[in-house]
Amino acid sequence: NQMLKGRHILVTGIANRWSIAWAVAEAVLREGGKITLTYQGETQLGNIRKILADIPGGDSVLVEPLDVCDEEQLTSLCSTLEKAGIFLDGVVHSIAFALREELDGHFVDTSRKGYLLAQEISAFSLVALSKALLPRMNDGGAIVAMTYLGSERVVPHYNVMGVAKAALESAVRYLAYDLGGRKIRVNSLSAGPVKTASGRAIKGFGDMVKTVSEQSAIKEQLTVSEVADVAVSLLSPYFRGVTGELIHVDKGYHALG
């Protein structure tokens, strides 16, 4: 009873084996799906190759370059899929970036450059990626974007990234409306803090993980596999009636005052 049997999912944002995106890719495979991965830069490609070497059939996975700021790479990703005869049933957007100095200081000091960069990489990229991949998506497919509670509430130090995530979540709703005609669903998954490279870039992240787990409904630290299991559920036909939605995967932290 695999949830994604026969479905092909493109997963972005694997920086290393601790990335949320890798946990999602593994869960897709477990649920009987196929994966295509994208990487940004040679270090990530090396990391991805090493991870794939450890799994059965890993050698045959397509791994393509994608810097979301590069229109040409978006176009060539689509033509590579075409050449390979791949039609996608799902896309996972697991990409975010902000300059470290914007996460250290006060939000009021956000620079124009830092603001625009965070928006471009963390929010507009979902629009650009969706548009670029639409010709290679099957009707009835699904898009999932990773977000965080710092969009809805002030989370100290999340700053410019909170504003970018608010834009991302709004883009999810507008995309859901536009793509509904093709029964392509678009949802966001708001994960609680989990220890990854991006997480660690936020000042005081280790303490935050601990405090959040103490203040959640379920008082345990969130794991990436718990996040990944919800992501594959959102990609699966079980969620065919759900689009434009935001789901908190945070052990109930968001529900507490």
Give contact residues for ligand 0WD (rule: CB under 6 A): 13, 15, 19-21, 40, 44, 66-69, 94-97, 121, 146-148, 191, 193-194, 196-199
Q: What is the DSSP string of 145-190?
A: EEE-GGGTS--TTTHHHHHHHHHHHHHHHHHHHHHGGGT-EEEEEE
> Which of 50, 69, 71 has its CA nearest to residue 61?
50
CB of 30 to ligand 0WD, least distance (A): 18
Q: Are 233 and 185 in contact (CB under 8 A)?
A: no
CB of 7 to ligand 0WD, least distance (A): 21
**CA–CA distance from 40 to each of 207, 244, 247 (Å)?**
29, 28, 27
CB of 89 to ligand 0WD, least distance (A): 21
**Residue 215, annotated as binding a ligand:** no
Among candidate residues 39, 115, 158, 253, the one labeled active-site is 158
183 versus 215: smaller Cβ distance to ligand 0WD: 215
CB of 189 to ligand 0WD, least distance (A): 8
The answer to whether 158 is a known catalytic residue is: yes
Contact 37, 17 (CB under 8 A): no
3-state secondary structure of 123: helix
Label residue 256 left, alpha or beta by phi (over 0 means left) and psi (-120 to 50 means alpha): beta
- 92 annotated as belonging to a binding site for a ligand: no
195 annotated as ligand-binding:
yes
Q: How far apart are CA 187 and CA 179, in angstroms?
A: 12
Tell whether residue 11 is among the known ligand binding residues.
no
The response to whether 19 counts as a known ligand-binding position is yes
Shorter beta-carbon distance to ligand 0WD: residue 13 or 90: 13
Q: Which of 39, 148, 174, 177 is catalytic?
A: 148
Asked if 217 and 252 touch (Cβ cutoff 8 Å), the reply is yes
Residue whose pair of structure tokens reads 């978006």 in the numeric block: 74
Please check if 84 is assigned to a binding site. Answer: no
Region of 186 please: left (phi>0), alpha (psi -120 to 50) or beta. beta
CB of 88 to ligand 0WD, least distance (A): 17
Q: Is 174 a catalytic residue?
A: no
Cβ-based nearer residue to ligand 0WD, 107 or 138? 107
Shorter beta-carbon distance to ligand 0WD: residue 75 or 237 = 75
Q: Which amino acids are annotated as binding site for substrate, given as ranges?
A: 98
Catalytic center residues: 148, 158
